[in-house]
Structure 1
Amino acid sequence: MLHLRLIVPADRTDEVVGVIEKTVGTTHLVVVDGACRDPAGDLVLCDVAREAGDGLIADLRALGLDRCGSIAVEEIGLSLSTRAEQAEKDAPGEGADAVLWEQMQEATHEESTLSVTYVAFLALATMIAACGVVLDNAILIVGAMAVGPEFGPLAGICTALVQRKPKLAARSLIALVVGFLAAMALTVLFSLTMDAAGLFTDDMLHGDRPNTGFVYAPDWFSFVVGLLAGAAGTLSLTSAKSGALVGVAISVTTVPAAANAAVALSYGDLTQTKGSIEQLLLNLLAIVLAGTATLLAQKAFWARQRRRTGRTA
Structure 2
Amino acid sequence: MRLVQLTIPTGKRQTLLETLDEKGVDYVVTEETSDRDYTAVAYFPLPAAAVEPVLDSLQEQGVDEDAYTVVVDAETVISRRFEALREEYENGDVESERISRQELQAEAESLTPSFEVYVTMTVVSAIVATAGLLLDSAAVVVGSMVIAPLIGPALGASVGSVIDDEELFLSSLKYQLMGVVLAIAAAAIFAWTVRVTYVVPPGLDISSVDEIAERLAPDLLSLVIALGAGVAGIVSISTGISVALVGVMIAAALIPPAATVGIALAWGQPSAAIGSTVLVLVNVLSVNLAGLLTLWYAGYRPENLFELRPTQRRVRRRAVGLIVIVLLFGVFLGGITYSSYSAATFEENTREDVQDLLEQPEYDGYQLLELEVVMDENYPFVRPERVIATVGGPPGETDPDLADELDDRVNRHGDGSIDVEVRFVEVAQR
| Residue number in structure 1 paired with 2:391 | none
TM-score normalised by L of structure 1? 0.86
Give the aligned residue type for 1:132: G
The one-letter code sitting in structure 1 at the alignment partner of 2:119 is V
Q: Which residue of structure 2 lines up, in the alignment, with residue 249 of structure 1? A: 248
Does the Cα contact within 8 Å between 1:261 and 1:273 map onto a contact in 2? yes
Alignment of 1:54-73 (within 5 A): 54-73=52-71
1:32 equivalenced with 2:7 (yes/no) = no
Residue of structure 2 in register with 1:276 after alignment: 276
Matched, 1:238 2:212: no
Between the aligned partners of 1:170 and 1:189, the Cα distance in structure 2 is 28
User: Partners of 1:300 and 1:72 in 2: how far apart?
Assistant: 20
Instruction: Look up the match of 2:312.
Output: none
**1:47-126 equivalent positions in 2, closer than 5 A:** 47-94=45-92, 97-112=97-112, 115-126=115-126
Partner AA of 1:14 in structure 2: Q
User: In structure 1, how many angstroms separate the alpha carbons of the residues matched to 2:204 and 2:99?
Assistant: 47
Question: 5 Å matches for 1:11-30?
Answer: 11-23=11-23, 26-27=25-26, 29-30=27-28
Residue of structure 2 equivalent to 1:127: 127
Q: Label 1:111 to 1:155 Cα distance change in 2 as closer, same or farther (>3 A).
A: same
- What does residue range 262-273 of structure 1 map to in structure 2 within 5 Å? 262-273=262-273
CA distance in 2, matches of 1:240, 1:32: 29
Which shifted more, 233-242 or 192-201? 192-201
The SS at the match of 2:29 is strand
Larger deviation: 140-149 or 198-207?
A: 198-207
Retained in 2: the 8 A contact 1:128–1:144? yes
Higher relative contact order (CA 8 A, sep 6+): 1
Match of 1:292?
292
Could you tell me which amino acid in structure 2 is paired with residue 250 of structure 1?
Answer: M
What SS is found at the alignment partner of 1:65? coil
More displaced, 289-298 or 64-73?
64-73
| Structure (1/2) with the larger helix percentage | 1
Distance in 2 (CA, whole Å) between partners of 1:205 and 1:123 is 25
Q: Secondary structure at the match of 2:30?
A: strand
What is the RMSD computed on CA atoms of the aligned residues?
A: 2.5
The answer as to whether partners of 1:10 and 1:34 remain within 8 angstroms in 2 is no
Bigger Rg over Cα: 2
Tell me if the contact between 2:253 and 2:280 (Cα under 8 Å) persists in the aligned partners.
Answer: yes
Q: Which amino acid aligns with 2:53?
A: G
Q: Structure 1 4/202 Cα, relative in aligned 2: closer, same or farther at 3 Å?
A: farther
CA shift digits 1:258-306 (9 cap, x unpaired)? 11111221221112322211111111111111111110110179x9xxx
Q: What letter matches 1:179 in structure 2?
A: G
Judged with a 3 Å threshold, the aligned counterparts in structure 2 of structure 1 residues 68 and 122 are, in CA distance, closer, same or farther, namely closer
Q: Deviations over 1:188-240 (max 9, x none)?
A: 22223323443235644525223442222232111122112211111000111
8 A contact 1:157–1:288 mirrored in 2: yes
Kept in 1: contact 2:155–2:291 (CA 8 A): yes
AA aligned opposite 2:74:
I
CA distance in 2, matches of 1:34, 1:253: 50
- Verify the 8 A CA contact 2:90 2:97 in the aligned structure 1: no
Moved more, 106-115 or 234-243: 106-115
Q: TM-score, normalised by structure 2?
A: 0.64
Unaligned runs of 5+ in 2: 304-430
Q: Which amino acid aligns with 2:263?
A: V
Moved more, 62-71 or 154-163: 62-71
Contact 1:217–1:279 (CA under 8 A) maintained in structure 2 = no
| Aligned residue in 1 for 2:415 | none
| Residues 89 and 4 (structure 1), Cα distance of their counterparts in 2 relative to 1, 3 Å cut | same
Change (3 A) 1:203 1:71: same
Q: Measure, in 2, the Cα distance between the counterparts of 1:265 and 1:211.
A: 16
User: Within 5 Å, which residues of 2 pair with 1:95-244?
Assistant: 97-112=97-112, 115-201=115-201, 203-204=203-204, 206-243=206-243
Q: Cα offset for 1:184?
A: 2.4
Distance in 1 between the 2:122 and 2:221 partners? Answer: 25
Corresponding letter in the other structure for 1:44: A
Alpha-carbon contact 1:142-1:250 (below 8 Å) kept: no
Aligned residues of 2:89 and 2:96 also touching (Cα < 8 A): no
